[in-house]
Structure 1
């Protein structure tokens, strides 16, 4: 409650100062990735739309490449009024709500189309409000893509992963996922993955084609299994106090422009997954394995029981709703 009150005070103070001075409302929008990524291009698109349609009223300042904050700091900085928007990965929000871990469940979605359908549903939209009691509002979802498995040995069947060390994000779901394979999950920062693979401290990792290509993981892994077993995405956030204090007409325009920017970023993500996969194939450094249907069903059979471990935490109803989107 103290943080919510502080956020309200900070937001009102900033907006009042802008009104008194006749200056535009400044929205600081930092993120941790490069400008040419789907998230980076979405943020720049939003900035450009605002500059075009709300010039003199609102100004978006985009800070890429962790210039201002890391994903872990976004919520605290929003509540402190130091930034006004952010787009951390869903997995980074577990400290504030346990509901978003739902997106880490293996084989919950068959593809990006199913993810989109769920996000548009009543249940998916309700998750945008899961941090409202803390004073944080979700404004929309953004894709990175579907995750693939890479390793220093070919992975055709779940048994092939037994005993291997896989780097994971900090997620109880992902721990359970790899333990179901009798593999060893290792929580390490994303920035360390390349060197960990290169030095053999870990045997494999899971990631999207975009991350595998941009971070050159294919250079230090012999095999990549196209598993599409999980989803990696982001949530665009703001402080509820800041957003509610905006002029209603301006807020409506911002919501419209953000929706357009997110749709643009999501389309970039889909296109980039195709392009980056082909770039990995063309590099001829890692062999890409396409699973046969019977092989994929073996992975699903082994990983699906992980869902039941989190029925109470996420709610069986919302898990069922997500699966029904396929």
Structure 2
């Protein structure tokens, strides 16, 4: 009888211990020294996916974020950064973030319009007149609302990262808006980008980013558009020797967390993660500035001709109807953008 009673107590103790420690493959719970009734806070090891190379400014920002979180939790929360699309392409990673299988990712804001249409406004041409204007908006109440709006799609927006401005480059000489007329320009697949090309007289040619170099070589396209570091790192400058700095889009990057994982954290850990993300922004922006300057010098040394647009009015006038078309349902955001002008 005593043996049966002891066996029952032992089984109950094992079951209770299992409940205390079962908390997922990437989370561990520990108890304090024997005899103490208090439990230590849980420890976590999370993953952060980025599709850029290990030394790219967004990955530098990711690593600074991870470092701050680890320091501020005394090593209790570790975030391992996986660059170069090691965990998959952007689409598959986003799906895993929504499921909680991957805890963090960094992604450009453009694809997020699929989950929150408000993000599409950030891709409208010439709505931001400068980097200062962009960041004034992103750091405003409306900019924060955009991040918070991702929760309905099972993602938690933590912070914006810098991605510079996008400009046109071509195998043809580009000196003015007129030089783009009739050119086949590679763009990211979106209605806004296609309408944008129509508005300036170019022919939109959506295609995967990885196919652009060979398309420039073979003449399938006449040009493309991107920021300076990407123009440099992609080697597109080897074929496209002319770039015109019209700064038509300033689309930020976004540091995201799975909402399912966020909801499992206590308030203290949420605050640590959120603040660490915001505090990593200055490191990322500083690294971006270095990359832009380095890329510009390299591109000029390689014989790329730069043309800075002095008067944006012809460009703004050309796109005004399409901007009005795509912004008519987002008056509050457009008003906030206007109010954010320096």
- TM-score with structure 2 setting the length: 0.85
Q: Does 1:14 align with 2:33?
A: no
2:313 pairs with one of 297, 300, 307:
297
Distance 1:131 1:47, change over 3 A: closer
- 1:84 and 1:174 map into 2 onto residues whose CA distance is 31
Q: Which runs of 5+ in 2 are unaligned?
A: 1-21, 32-39
- 1:130 and 1:256 map into 2 onto residues whose CA distance is 18
Deviations 1:230-279 (A, max 9, x none): 11321111122211211222222222222111221022113322221122
Instruction: State the shift of 1:64 in Å.
Output: 0.5
Checking the alignment, whether the CA contact within 8 Å between 1:109 and 1:325 is kept in structure 2 is no
Deviations 1:136-172 (A, max 9, x none): 1111111111111111222233222111111111221
Q: What does residue 4 of structure 1 align with?
A: none
Q: Secondary structure of 2:55's match? A: coil
Select the structure with the greater relative contact order (CA < 8 A; seq sep ≥ 6): 1
Q: What does residue 77 of structure 2 align with?
A: 58
Q: Does 1:287 align with 2:305?
A: yes
Checking the alignment, whether the CA contact within 8 Å between 2:52 and 2:83 is kept in structure 1 is yes
Checking the alignment, whether the CA contact within 8 Å between 1:138 and 1:238 is kept in structure 2 is yes
- TM-score with structure 1 setting the length: 0.89
In the TM superposition, 1:145-224 aligns within 5 A as: 145-224=164-243
Q: What does residue 258 of structure 2 align with?
A: 239
In the TM superposition, 1:61-100 aligns within 5 A as: 61-100=80-119
Q: Does 1:119 align with 2:138?
A: yes
Q: What does residue 322 of structure 1 align with?
A: 337
Q: What does residue 120 of structure 2 align with?
A: 101
Instruction: State the shift of 1:20 in Å.
Output: 5.5
1:249 pairs with one of 268, 280, 283:
268
Q: Which protein is bigger by CA-based radius of gyration?
A: 2
Deviations 1:110-142 (A, max 9, x none): 121111000011111111022222221111111
Deviations 1:283-309 (A, max 9, x none): 21x21112232xx32112112322111
Aligned alpha-carbon RMSD (Å):
2.0
Number of matched pairs: 311
Q: Which runs of 5+ in 1 are unaligned?
A: 1-11
Instruction: State the shift of 1:13 in Å.
Output: 4.4
